[in-house]
Amino acid sequence: MELLEFATDMFEEYGTRLYGYLDGLTTEELNWRPNAEANSIAFIVWHTARVEDRWFQIFCQNKPDLWTTDSWFEKLGMGENQPLTGLTPDDLAAFPTLTMDDLKSYFDAVRAETRKYLSNIGPQDLETAPGRSPFGGPAANNRFAHFTIQRMFRQLIQEEIQHLGQVGILRGLQRGLDK
């Protein structure tokens, strides 16, 4: 199996498993946090979609992300520069309540663009190092700016798998096994 086929399969499998974990959850369950310093399922799903949006749009294609171009920040009740990481307990407490429709709509929009990108590149593109970070800042001081497309796949797939496990744990804490 070639890397592009593997990456495409991994992103599809992730989406299928994520939607399985989300199935039937209420808005309250999506936004529940086990303590003040923990993320909710809604935050994790939003964060993962947001990171994927930035990697594929900004890093890979040097295009503005969907967050900005399609005004997802407004649709989800956030600021355009909503931080992705490093939130304090107060920040997490103030994070907007997101519904299943909110989460799936943004995730689906991002994933559609990811699919489009993956269908339009070839193996020769994998060693390209775009020379920019998906998270801003000077390229010279940012390790992500030195990634190749191939290395980006490794980073993003690993992160999505990690966050999928977190979503599964949070669902299990609320509902128990297989509920």
Measuring CA to CA, how many Å separate 63 from each of 41, 54, 60, 109, 172? 28, 9, 8, 15, 38
What is the domain extent for residue 43? 3-175
Residue 142 confidence (pLDDT) above 90 = no
Could you tell me what percent of the chain has a pLDDT over 70?
Answer: 97
Residue 125 confidence (pLDDT) above 70 = yes
Both structure tokens of 15: 């989406």
Q: Can you give the CATH number for the domain in which 158 is found?
A: 1.20.120.450
CB contact set of 68 (below 8 Å; sequence gap of 6+): 80
Separation of alpha carbons 165 and 179, rounded Å: 16
pLDDT for 138 equals 72
* 87-95 long-range Cβ contacts below 8 angstroms, 24+ apart: 89/36, 89/37, 92/33, 92/36, 92/37, 92/38, 92/39, 92/40, 92/43, 93/36, 95/40, 95/42, 95/43
Both structure tokens of 118: 């993956």
Could you tell me what percent of the chain has a pLDDT over 90?
Answer: 88
pLDDT for 22 equals 97
Q: How many structural domains comprise the chain?
A: 1
Is the CB of residue 53 less than 8 Å from the CB of residue 66? Answer: yes
Q: Report pTM.
A: 0.95
Both structure tokens of 39: 């993320």
